[in-house]
A and B are shown apart, each in its own frame.
Chain A
């Protein structure tokens, strides 16, 4: 069995705001092993980015409240001091963000921004760090890295900037790379390249990846396991193949159904999940997906636990529907929403 790097156990992240307590993450658990790619999927406001930023300690603040555990190599990151956390950020866990256009500082050269990341954790001289930065840029696929290293971010295209961001995140060879919607701001053609690059570098650097996205298509190829989040909770979790072929939770059906597919008859209209995610301050009672779920019944006013309902071990979901009902209704949604369009 591969080395377990990270164990998130019943994580809660709450923010005190003027309007009330925002329960951004409300009970999230997962594990990550070396070499693995974990996909976290969900729509905007489902808590996936807050989860990721919490792993990096970026959600700490006077108005934040944490519960649960984030254990990295035996150490609970929620309880260490800010000073200690600095040694983890970048060195042990690297992160790339959604918008490469704004995530690099416009007034410093690309090389300087990579060198800075290296020298934050390792006592190497500037020339040595510079040489490593060139090598990193080469590894992330920037042509002519020797000269491009002296460019400023505005001289890079969006895809190149995201590559540079990846180089920064990998500069100190972290064990975990967190990619928070790394392709959302990029062209579709570039998206695939970036995802492939992340998968390749994961092997080169022998690390693990947490890939956050709202697009199941993005994680389909490279994730080993997928966590589906809704309203701050994990609503379904399974190995990638299992999740795609045997989804249990109506929310997951909706996500799958909203992907345009070439291998199925074309629906009149692409499926969409009606309504919007609930307010994180004032959540519905019971199952959080209940108000939008076409299959909800009385029992759904109590919240279902995250449990295993199928033969495959490790496939967990939060749903009261029985397996027969699910089998009967699932395909209609997943295959492209004929029911909704009719």
Chain B
């Protein structure tokens, strides 16, 4: 087990290193334009010539690529990466956004996993009948609805008085300031973000369950005289949920890593995703690089967790 853990951790570190290199390629090498071009892009709009020369020197754009890479890495990891457009420190901005992003992710994750499983189980159990068809249609609608549209509609009708002003309209309130306000402000974003995933997870789980019920070992379970409920929970669901775990791990990580750009922006949550969105619209390169790395870290970290959990769920891939 320890060897497995060490191997996966080393692998994860290597993947992170590869990601930094790709970030370097995408943001610095590929766009080209020589030392001035790169420095101009990083300096952002309205930069003075002196600014650009400073950046060129600081980031070593006039030196060989490995020095450039080294400088970039140093800036990212010693926390000195700044946005030249707003003069704000990137790391501290990300850290500021994390509570909102984490709150959004955890709440939405719980909702979408729970309802995804419920929806998948119900529609598999009633496969072909009315409830399955209704769920299928709803799931497809949920999957097809753009988050920004659904978010705006939800805000308009439920928060801004289209139908009611019951829900607070956007913004994030820290849990430490007021747990109830925190909760009230997050309900709509949670649901809007979860809708997409619920539909998707429900469909995936439905398919898995319908495959699994035809497995020989389910027939064996039935031949033992187990109750249908026990067969479903112990033999069918346990196996069908394995692929869902993978999906959840990676989706959760990507939202945690600032992937819910649209939801965060529509509801003005000031999370990491919204920070990324603002930086993109301002052509503000350093924050984009920072958020990319931050997101990549979560994806890699959670894929290791998923692997470990997998080994727990399926003994066949458990290291001996």
A66 within 8 A of B: no
A94 within 8 A of B: yes
Query: A165 contacts B222, CB within 8 Å?
Result: no
Q: Which residue of A lies closest to B215 (CB)?
A: A102
Q: Could you say which residues of chain A place their CB within 8 Å of the CB of B226?
A: 86, 90, 116, 120
A87 within 8 A of B: yes
Q: Could you say which residues of chain B place their CB within 8 Å of the CB of A104?
A: 217, 220
Contact with A along B175-190 (1 / 0, CB 8 A): 0000000000000000
B314 within 8 A of A: yes
CB interface residues, B 209-223, toward A, < 8 Å: 215-217, 219-223
Whole-angstrom distance from the CB of A106 to the nearest CB of chain B? 6
Query: A152 contacts B315, CB within 8 Å?
Result: yes
CB interface residues, A 99-128, toward B, < 8 Å: 99, 102-107, 116-117, 120-121
B7 within 8 A of A: no
Q: How many pairs, one residue from A and one from B, have CB atoms within 8 Å of each other in the complex? A: 71
Query: A89 contacts B223, CB within 8 Å?
Result: yes
Q: Could you say which residues of chain A place their CB within 8 Å of the CB of B220?
A: 97, 103-105, 165, 168
Q: Could you say which residues of chain A place their CB within 8 Å of the CB of B316?
A: 106, 152, 154
- For the complex, would chain B's binding face be called helix, strand, loop or mixed by DSSP majority? helix
Whole-angstrom distance from the CB of A60 to the nearest CB of chain B? 10
Contact pick for B217, options A86, A105, A120, CB 8 Å = A105
Query: A91 contacts B225, CB within 8 Å?
Result: yes
Contact (A105, B223) CB under 8 Å given A97-B216, A152-B315, A154-B315 = no
Q: Could you say which residues of chain A place their CB within 8 Å of the CB of B234?
A: 116
Query: B225 contacts A58, CB within 8 Å?
Result: no
Contact pick for A102, options B217, B221, B225, B227, CB 8 Å = B217
A56 within 8 A of B: yes
A156 within 8 A of B: no
Q: Which residue of B lies closest to A98 (CB)?
A: B216
Query: B238 contacts A89, CB within 8 Å?
Result: no
Q: How many residues of A contact B (CB 8 A)?
A: 29
Query: A106 contacts B224, CB within 8 Å?
Result: no
Whole-angstrom distance from the CB of B208 to the nearest CB of chain A? 14
Q: Which residue of B lies closest to A83 (CB)?
A: B227
Whole-angstrom distance from the CB of B289 to the nearest CB of chain A? 43
Contact pick for B313, options A91, A107, A120, A152, CB 8 Å = A107
Cα distance A118–B225 when bound, in Å?
10
A320 within 8 A of B: no
Whole-angstrom distance from the CB of A103 to the nearest CB of chain B? 4
Q: Could you say which residues of chain A place their CB within 8 Å of the CB of B219?
A: 58, 97, 103
Chain A CB within 10 Å, residue with most, of B215, B223, B239 = B223
A244 within 8 A of B: no
Cα distance A103–B227 when bound, in Å?
18
Cα distance A105–B313 when bound, in Å?
12
A88 within 8 A of B: yes
B41 within 8 A of A: no
B235 within 8 A of A: yes
Query: B223 contacts A94, CB within 8 Å?
Result: yes
Contact pick for A117, options B224, B227, B239, CB 8 Å = B224
Query: A107 contacts B223, CB within 8 Å?
Result: no
Cα distance A82–B313 when bound, in Å?
31
A228 within 8 A of B: no
Sample (14) of A-B pairs whose CB atoms are under 8 Å apart: A58-B219, A89-B222, A89-B223, A99-B216, A102-B216, A103-B219, A105-B220, A105-B221, A105-B235, A106-B315, A106-B316, A116-B226, A154-B316, A168-B220
Q: Report, nearest first, the 9 A-B pairs whose CB atoms are least far apart.
A: A90-B225, A89-B225, A102-B216, A105-B217, A90-B224, A117-B224, A152-B315, A103-B216, A95-B223
Task: Report B's interface with A, CB cutoff 8 A.
Answer: 215-217, 219-228, 230, 234-235, 238-239, 313-316
Task: Report A's interface with B, CB cutoff 8 A.
Answer: 56, 58, 82, 86-91, 94-95, 97, 99, 102-107, 116-117, 120-121, 152, 154, 165, 168-169, 171
